[in-house]
Amino acid sequence: DFEQRINEMEFYFPIKTIRPPTLQKLFEHHGRDQDGKNYPAQMEKLIFNPVSGFLKGYIDLVFQYQDRFFLVDWKSNYLVPTIDNYRRDVLGDVMSANFYTLQYHLYALALCQYLRLKNTAFRYENNFGGAAYLFIRGIDHRRSPEYGIYFDRPKATLINALGKSLIPDFEKFI
């Protein structure tokens, strides 16, 4: 149903001053290993000057299925040379190395903020379905449905911690 989706959903919200070590600590304390890998250790490679002001971005697709909302990001990465490089366990490495894991956590925060503004009855546990990254070069209907698809539903505690650290006057999601 085309009415149950938003293409290229723009988000824009104020942020407090943020530094890479702050993000790393949030993932250490509230996150979990992503596919058996220590994602906070990967975040040591994240380098940027302290930032404050506004965070702006675009989520490729947001859709509602039943009572849950999902976000989708399309990726065209070429992961050479065989389809086996698009298995979920390999995609976990790609997600981590390219900081897509951080990206979809920020997208989840932005989407949940939007949904809470639109519907005061919004509850993370009941209404947020997760994030899907679709690596279009690896999706093959003849293979397992997990080829080319990376899916995760971030922990509510981590999304709340990100919100508290990033957004002034943030109210946690229930």
The CA distance from 103 to 71, in Å, is 11
Residue with tokens 């709340």: 160
Q: Dump strand ranges (E) for 90-164.
A: 128-135, 149-152
Q: Is 152 a catalytic residue?
A: no
Which residue type sits at 113?
Answer: Q
Nearest Cα to Cα of residue 98 among 80, 129, 113, 76: 76
Instruction: Please tell me what DSSP assigns to residue 67.
Output: T
Identify any residues that bridge with 102 across adjacent strands, giving them in sequence order.
none
Residue with tokens 């989706």: 5
Which tokens go with 54?
A: 């506004």
Per the residue annotation, which of 73, 84, 140, 169 is the catalytic one? 73
C-beta atoms surrounding 124 within 10 Å: 20
Active site residues: 73
